[in-house]
Amino acid sequence: MCNCKELPSSVVNISMSYAFRGIELQGVKLFPEYFNGLDSERFEPELSYEFEHYRCKDCGQYWYIFLDSDENPSPWFCVKYRDRGYEPSKGEIDAEKQFLTILAHNGFGSGNCRASKCSNLKLKGKELCHLHLSLP
């Protein structure tokens, strides 16, 4: 059985995000449904690096799926969409990545990002902003 229905509009399996591994992130504890990944195993087409758009065979949910680089790839970062013809644009996908990055850190700290010429606030507990330290 899949868990598509219980999931929000975008999810990331943060245990695959090596840049964030082993670091306690407040938002991951507070909002776990966003960070435990997608549990379906049956997709149409089958998961492969040729495709980005899938449909869950169990429930029919459409997903944009970014796969990890394993030999048997599994979903790493996923965005729901409602039907064929409504595939999310690159801008929409980037917006979801930024949202999840900010959520994982439970927002911003005070002070600016250390990257040169960046005037964004830094993520809580980090020295960089959501553009310079982004999931997945």
Kindly state whether residue 47 participates in binding Zn ion, applying the rule CB under 5 A. no
Q: How far is CA 126 from the centre of its chain?
A: 19
Quickly tell me which residue has 């195993």 as its tokens.
Answer: 41
Kindly state whether residue 65 participates in binding Zn ion, applying the rule CB under 5 A. no
Using CB under 5 A, pick the residue from 39, 52, 58, 87 that binds Zn ion.
58
Closer to Zn ion by CB, 71 or 82: give it: 82
Specify the amino acid at residue 20.
Answer: F
Kindly state whether residue 129 participates in binding Zn ion, applying the rule CB under 5 A. yes
The site string for Zn ion over 104-123 (x = CB under 5 A, - otherwise) reads ---------x-x--x-x---
Kindly state whether residue 101 participates in binding Zn ion, applying the rule CB under 5 A. no
CA-nearest of 70, 57, 3, 53 to 32 is 3
Distance between CA atoms of 60 and 42, rounded to whole angstroms?
A: 10
Q: Name beta bridge partners: 79.
A: 10, 64
Enumerate binding residues for Zn ion (CB under 5 A). Answer: 2, 4, 40, 56, 58-59, 61, 113, 115, 118, 120, 129, 131-132
